[in-house]
Structures are given as structure tokens and as C-alpha cells.
């Protein structure tokens, strides 16, 4: 018997949860005490690695009683780390309902799947009753089938053909999807990087609301996608509040309210100074997409853009155009 086999057998004995003695192991494997001690240390190192990588709970450990006995403690917790607790299910359902992306049939189906594995189903349901009563999904048609088809197309580098409508115009597109992104009520299919042009001509679009994609079909496979076209959704989420693509820029602004509203929205932002009037000079790592412009406009009198100049001028003109809608002469 080699060392690997011996280690495995010792670990299997520990998994029973009962105490095993060093003396018994010495006799069983015909090894010295120092060898058995090294084996236990190796097993402990493996357990620590698993704990560090979150494969098993921190509570799992080998206990020594000082009399040459070893016992694996809290091993039963391992079976619980991979299952969802009622708190986990509650959190997932609250987030799911807040998206409003699915129709009532699909949200009910997803909810029931999660609730069937809950220990206290009725306990969770009482916190969801009001949201279920007033739930109004964005999607009219079922969405799961389209999502599954796009996921499969991404994995297999397939080109999809589909019809897509926006602002009363319908076009036929052929695109190789490389990502699915959720933001602001919608799932989007992306066929370009997060720095591509956005909100321009419909025919050149690379971002599509999946619930508006119809008659989706596969027309080819094994399509190559350039690395430069890889979509990084995690990065985009730090650069803008709304789902608009754009090139990265640094924005300097003065914020006239609680700075946490900016710092939480943009995790790579920082306060560079506190002005004499009490406002905060904040530096934001954002993008130049329309979503950033919309967010800045929505902050109204609480924000003043310092730079870049083109963004500052855009906001000034936007405010003038808005005032004209109310009959206010700004010329």
C-alpha cells in the first residue's frame, strides 16, 4: 500500500465521525507514530485549502484530545454548504421579483422551483405575498426559451438571425452573441465589447433587448469572435448606471448631497476634496455612453460637471432644451 492509499483510508475513517487512535493506525498500516502524524497534518492542509476556497465550511477540523485520538468535527456541515438555506431562497426571490423581467407564468415557475427546496415554504411566502399580488412583468412572451437559445449560441459560437423592433422600426439582424447582460429591467444580448458604439443607427446595433428579439434561429456555427470584441459586463457595471455602452472616461464633478449616492453607484470613484460650500469634488471612472449622461441629468441641481468639457456642455444644452419644453426662454 502506498502513501496516497493510506491517506485516503485514514480520511475515510475520519469521515465516519468517530474517534480513531494513533496507535490503531500505527498497527493497521504498520507505520511509526511520526508517519501517522505527518499523514494527519497532510489531511489538515487539504482541509484548510478547501476552506480557503470555500469548498467546505470553516467549522470543519480535525480535533485532538491529547490522548493520541483524532476526530473530524462538524463534517456534517459539508452537506449544508451546497444547499440553499431559507434565507438564501428569500434573498434570491426578492431580487428576482425586483427585476420584473419575466411574465407572471415564468416568475411563478421560477419561484415554485426555489420554494420546493425551502424548509419553511409558508414563512418565505408571507414576505412575498404583496409583491406577487402586484407583480407586473415587462415581458409579454416567455423569455426562458430565448435565453437558453442565446446561451447555447454563445457557448457554440453560433450566428443567430432574428427580427428586432425599436421605436416603431423592425429590422432583420444576423449577429454572433458573446454575452448576456442584465440591467434596468431588461436582459440584453451583446455582440460587441462594452466600448462599442451604442444608441446610434438601428442597423448597426450590437446590443439587443432579448424580450424584443423575435423569430430567433441559428444560421451558422463555429464563428470566430475577436478578443477585442469580448464583452466585459462586470467592468461596464462599474462605469455606468444604465445599460449603455461607451468608451472609458474620467469625470470630475461637484456633488451637493450625500456623497455615498455617487460612491455606491460608481465603485471606482473617490472624493478628491471637500469644497468650501460643503459640496464634494468627486472623480468617477465612468464611460461616455448615453447612460452616464442620463444619470447626470437626473441629478439636477445636486451635481455640477467640471470635466470633461464636452460632457459639461451636453448637460447645459440638455437643461436649456428641457426648459424650452416648459416655455421658459433661456436665450
pLDDT score recorded for residue 78: 60
- b/e burial code for range 293-324 (CB count within 10 A of at least 16 → b): bebbeebeeebbbeeeeebbebbeeeeeeeee
Kindly report the CATH number assigned to the domain that includes residue 182: 2.30.30
Question: Residue 244: inside a domain, yes or no?
Answer: yes
Nearest to 189 by CA among 231, 139, 242: 231
Domain boundary among 207, 231, 255: 231
pLDDT score recorded for residue 75: 66
Whether residues 11 and 72 share a domain: the answer is yes
List, as one string, the DSSP characters of 39-81.
Answer: HHHHHHHHHHHHHHTTSS-TT-EEEE-SSSEEEEESGGGHHHH
Whether residues 249 and 295 share a domain: the answer is yes
pLDDT score recorded for residue 80: 59
Q: Which residues of the chain have pLDDT under 70?
A: 54, 75-82, 199, 331
pLDDT score recorded for residue 110: 95
pLDDT score recorded for residue 203: 87
Report the domain count for the chain: 4
Question: Residue 13: inside a domain, yes or no?
Answer: yes
- CA–CA distances in Å: residue 284 to residues 249, 256, 280: 8, 15, 12
pLDDT score recorded for residue 79: 57
pLDDT score recorded for residue 185: 94
Whether residues 73 and 91 share a domain: the answer is no
pLDDT in tens, 282-298: 999 999 999 999 999 99
Question: Residue 282: inside a domain, yes or no?
Answer: yes
Kindly report the CATH number assigned to the domain that includes residue 64: 1.10.10.10
Question: Residue 62: inside a domain, yes or no?
Answer: yes
Contacts of 78 (CB under 8 A, 6+ apart): 56, 57, 60
pLDDT in tens, 151-170: 999 999 999 999 999 988 99
Q: Which domain holds residue 289?
A: 234-325
Question: Residue 31: inside a domain, yes or no?
Answer: yes
Nearest to 284 by CA among 276, 303, 298: 303
Question: Residue 201: inside a domain, yes or no?
Answer: yes
20 membership: H or E segment, kind and range: strand 20-21
Domain boundary among 81, 104, 122: 81
Contact 297, 315 (CB under 8 A): yes
Contact 215, 149 (CB under 8 A): no
Contacts of 301 (CB under 8 A, 6+ apart): 256
21 membership: H or E segment, kind and range: strand 20-21
Whether residues 321 and 242 share a domain: the answer is yes
- CA–CA distances in Å: residue 173 to residues 160, 163, 165, 176, 246: 8, 6, 10, 10, 22
Whether residues 174 and 116 share a domain: the answer is no
Whether residues 28 and 72 share a domain: the answer is yes
Amino acid at each position: 500500500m502506498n502513501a496516497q492509499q493510506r491517506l485516503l483510508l485514514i480520511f475515510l475513517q475520519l469521515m465516519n465521525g468517530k474517534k480513531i487512535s494513533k496507535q490503531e493506525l500505527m498497527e493497521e498500516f504498520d507505520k511509526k507514530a511520526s508517519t501517522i502524524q505527518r499523514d494527519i497534518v497532510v489531511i489538515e492542509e487539504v482541509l484548510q485549502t478547501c476552506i480557503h476556497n470555500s469548498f467546505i465550511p470553516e467549522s470543519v477540523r480535525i480535533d485532538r484530545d491529547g490522548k493520541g485520538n483524532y476526530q473530524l468535527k462538524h463534517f456534517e456541515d459539508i452537506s449544508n454548504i451546497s444547499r440553499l438555506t431559507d434565507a438564501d431562497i428569500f434573498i434570491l426571490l426578492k431580487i428576482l421579483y425586483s427585476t420584473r423581467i419575466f411574465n407572471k407564468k415564468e416568475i411563478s415557475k421560477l419561484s415554485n422551483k426555489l420554494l420546493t427546496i425551502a424548509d419553511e415554504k409558508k414563512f418565505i411566502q408571507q414576505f412575498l405575498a404583496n409583491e406577487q399580488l402586484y407583480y407586473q412583468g415587462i415581458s409579454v412572451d416567455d423569455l426562458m426559451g430565448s435565453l437558453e437559445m442565446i446561451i447555447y449560441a454563445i457557448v457554440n459560437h453560433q450566428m443567430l438571425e432574428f427580427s428586432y423592433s425599436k421605436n416603431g422600426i423592425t429590422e432583420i439582424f444576423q449577429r454572433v452573441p458573446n454575452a448576456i447582460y442584465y440591467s434596468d429591467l431588461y436582459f440584453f444580448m451583446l455582440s460587441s465589447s462594452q466600448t462599442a458604439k451604442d444608441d446610434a443607427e438601428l442597423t448597426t446595433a450590437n446590443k439587443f433587448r432579448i424580450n424584443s428579439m423575435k423569430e430567433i434561429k441559428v444560421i451558422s456555427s463555429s464563428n470566430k469572435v475577436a478578443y477585442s470584441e469580448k464583452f466585459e459586463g462586470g467592468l461596464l457595471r462599474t462605469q455606468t448606471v444604465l445599460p449603455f455602452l461607451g468608451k472609458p472616461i474620467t469625470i470630475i464633478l461637484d456633488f451637493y448631497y450625500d456623497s455615498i449616492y455617487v460612491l455606491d453607484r460608481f465603485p471606482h470613484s473617490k472624493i478628491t476634496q471637500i469644497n468650501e460650500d460643503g459640496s464634494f469634488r468627486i472623480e468617477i471612472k465612468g464611460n461616455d455612453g448615453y447612460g452616464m449622461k442620463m444619470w447626470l441629468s437626473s441629478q439636477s441641481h445636486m451635481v455640477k460637471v467640471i470635466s470633461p468639457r464636452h460632457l459639461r456642455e451636453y448637460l447645459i444644452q440638455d437643461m436649456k432644451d428641457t426648459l424650452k419644453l416648459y416655455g421658459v426662454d433661456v436665450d
